[in-house]
Amino acid sequence: MLITQGQLHQYAQQQALNAVFLKTQSPTAAPTYLAMSQTAIGSLQSSALTMADATVNEYLTSTGYARQNYTPVAATPASPSSIYNTGIITWGPFTSPPGTANWAIACDVASGTAANIIASFLLGAPVTPATGDSLQGAAGTGAAGVGFICQI
């Protein structure tokens, strides 16, 4: 599954600016997770703050789906700086067809709608897994199109 560069959502933009301009302490280090979203291309709002937002449309857990740990590297010491996964990320196998995914969404909680949205990644092509299928995101290398890369 190929992806495009990730875009930071409003929650992450606020966190970054407050940290960089020394207004508040950044959140402590903690796991982040990737969710799969069926939202149509062009319909996911970057102003969406939590997974409860009407534009998110996450896969249902009743299909055997669960958010997966993102485990990105530390931000690269470059301009622009980027962050990306170094391991393969696998969702499934699915116990029933979950629908067509267009997005991966990074968030700060393993389940539930209260999770804050950090970034979204448009998949290179929509994917529609069947019963028994799994989806895999490639291990990132920091190069465009490989892994889930977020860059600012």
> pTM for this structure?
0.88
The range of the structural domain enclosing residue 19 comes to 7-151
pLDDT tens digits along 103-126: 999 999 999 999 999 999 999 899
Residue 60 lies in a domain: yes
φ, ψ for residue 16, nearest 5 deg: -65, -50
Residue 1 lies in a domain: no
Residue 2 lies in a domain: no
Domain total in the chain: 1
Residue 26 lies in a domain: yes
DSSP string for 79-94 = SS-EEEB-S-EEE---
pLDDT tens digits along 3-29: 445 677 888 888 888 887 888 887 788
Residue 89 lies in a domain: yes
Residue 123 lies in a domain: yes
pLDDT tens digits along 68-95: 999 998 888 887 788 889 899 999 999 9
Residue 151 has pLDDT above 90, yes or no: no
Q: If pLDDT is split at 50, 70 and 90, which confidence band does 1 have? A: very low
Place of tokens 């280090």: 29
Residue 124 lies in a domain: yes
| Partner residues linked to 20 by β-bridges | none
Residue 73 lies in a domain: yes
